[in-house]
Amino acid sequence: MRRAPRAQVGFFDIVALPLFYSWAAVFHEALPLVRAVEDNCNRWRLLEAGRNTHTGGMGGGSGPATGTGTHSSGGSGGHTSHTSK
């Protein structure tokens, strides 16, 4: 599927991350799981960015498969940066 990285990032932003942030707000023991979900999301973001960089946004390329361990992005995509208490 050519749009898999974009679809995955959208799923993380709309469903997975809000769910895990809410869950961790109640169950603080879940913070390691939140970090793992953030790392996974960042890997998909890098893959999407690599595809856009290598192919001009037309798909077909593959980017790096490692994340940075942080969840933040610019303001244009509706993404927010989250921190845990």
**The two three-digit tokens of residue 58, written as one number:** 């037309």
Residue 57 domain flag: no
Number of domains in the chain: 1
Residue 43 domain flag: yes
Residue 78 domain flag: no
Residue 33 domain flag: yes
Residue 24 domain flag: yes
Residue 36 domain flag: yes
Residue 83 domain flag: no
Tell me the per-residue pLDDT of 23-56, one tens digit each, with 9 for 90 and over. 999 999 999 999 999 999 999 999 988 877 655 4
> Left, alpha or beta for 5 (phi > 0: left; psi -120 to 50: alpha)?
alpha
pTM for this prediction: 0.57
Q: What CA–CA distance (Å, rounded) separates 29 from 17? A: 16
Residue 35 domain flag: yes
SS3 33: helix
Q: What CA–CA distance (Å, rounded) separates 4 from 12? A: 12
